[in-house]
Amino acid sequence: MRDATPSFPFATAILAMACLAAGFTSLEPQFAFDRQNIMAGELWRLWTGHLVHFSLAQRLLDVGTLLIVGWLAEREWGSGPTAIAMLLGMPAISASLLLVSPDLIQFRGVSGIVMLLALAAATSIWHDHPSARPGLAVLGVAAAIKTLLDASGMQTPSSLPAGVSVAWQAHVSGAAIGWMAARYRLQRMPRAGEAGETGIQKL
């Protein structure tokens, strides 16, 4: 059963404000995901690397997209579960970059969390609203094509400054974590349409 839809996406708004506020500080180098410093014990970077960005354009694009997908995720999940998914997703994405992307030295941006929320929301919407599936499929194919192009080293439209490549590995990791979280939640929390199958009676 779906959680009560929040009137305002509080969790997403807080994260968006944190990303914007980080841009007004001089601490971005100390907050960025930096492999060498994380391995030296600066574990806070597993979280804060998602709050800082390489440029104003990247920050604005990431935050704008975050507000859209976060609003959708909170409509499907509620603010509390969405906040937990983001807080746990940050170190999970960072840890995956440490493990499977040894060549990735530095990463900045909330785009990995954007992908986590996008897949979480899309999986729930796919499950609950079959009429939305064609549109979701088109968006999914477009995102997959862009990711493949980024992974191949081709130049795709980006808000990153010259010399900085898209960290597509963070996008893939975020998407995978979001999909798994949504599938787990769907299995643990039967929706209203499944009440009869699970033996729960509607009142």
Query: Which tokens go with 1?
Result: 């059963």
Torsion sign over Cα 181, 89, 122, 124: positive
Which residues are CB-neighbours of 141 under 8 A, at least 6 positions away? none
User: pTM for the complete prediction?
Assistant: 0.88
Q: pLDDT-based confidence at 5, cuts 50/70/90?
A: low
Which residues are CB-neighbours of 164 under 8 A, at least 6 positions away? 54
The pLDDT of residue 60: 95
Rounded percentage of the chain residues whose pLDDT exceeds 70: 89
Of 198 and 132, the structure prediction assigns the larger pLDDT to 132
CB 17 within 8 A of CB 63: no
Query: Which tokens go with 72?
Result: 């959708």
Average pLDDT, integer, range 18-30: 91
Instruction: Give the class (CATH, top level) of 10-191.
Output: mainly alpha
The pLDDT of residue 56 is above 80: yes
Helix/strand/coil for 169? helix
Give residue for tokens 């354009």. 57
Q: pLDDT-based confidence at 183, cuts 50/70/90?
A: very high
